[in-house]
Amino acid sequence: MLHTGSSPLLALLRHSIAGALLLLALVRPLHAGDNSPTAFAENEVKAAFVYNFAHFVRWPEGHSLRPGEPFRYCVLDDALAVLLAKAVAGETLDGHPLIVQRQPDPRNFQECHLIYFGDQSAISPGTQTELLRRLTGPILTVSDQPGFAARGGMITLTHKRGRIHPIINTDAIERTELRVSAKLLNLATLTRDGKGSAP
């Protein structure tokens, strides 16, 4: 018979685990326990998405992102700007420091690499459509407002079954030199100019 049995180490392990668990099973809970699970606020998850977009979209080298210059997130949403600023603190992207500009003047939008239109942005939908139309060059536009894609915006963060879900207007992206990674395209719902922000 080839039976050699288990090693003494494993036998010891087995007995100690069994002993520890048995002991613990006999112990009553020490206290009611703070059992509240990790809660992620909606804005935090949105901030994490926006933070990530810089990594999953490619900006053309050259005029818009010169060596050593910072990568600018322009955020028209006070709450999100605070969270995003915390997220990017000390981080870089291919050697470019990441910075967050809160409520920048629309006249300076051309300096942004990413613009986030939040709920608090005091820009009317009509003005927004006009602004988006006037933006030229590789600037990623993101928002959580319904109908953003239909107004020419690129990425809309929507709610889907209690989760945050990106919708990408591929027509808006393709009008620029921005290139979205395969990973992000696979995850998102793709839409086109004519289709509004559905589904």
Query: Which residues lie near other proteins (CB under 8 A)?
Result: 1-7, 10-11, 13-14, 17-18, 20-21, 24-25, 27, 29-42, 44-45, 47-49, 51-52, 55-58, 83, 86-87, 160-166, 168, 170, 173-174, 179-187, 189-190, 199
Among residues 145, 158, 88, the alpha carbon closest in space to that of 116 is found at 145
CA distance 44 to 193: 29
**Minimum distance, C-beta of residue 183 to other proteins, in the bound complex (Å):** 6
CA distance 60 to 5: 64
Residue pair 138/146 in contact (Cβ under 8 Å)? The answer is no
**Minimum distance, C-beta of residue 159 to other proteins, in the bound complex (Å):** 8
**Minimum distance, C-beta of residue 157 to other proteins, in the bound complex (Å):** 10
**Minimum distance, C-beta of residue 101 to other proteins, in the bound complex (Å):** 19
Amino acid at site 67:
P
User: Residue 106, preceding bond cis, omega within 30 degrees?
Assistant: no
* Greatest Cα-to-Cα distance within the chain, rounded to the nearest angstrom: 85
Residue where the block lists tokens 């049995």? 5
**83 or 135: CB nearest other proteins:** 83
**4 or 124: CB nearest other proteins:** 4
**41 or 119: CB nearest other proteins:** 41
**128 or 158: CB nearest other proteins:** 158
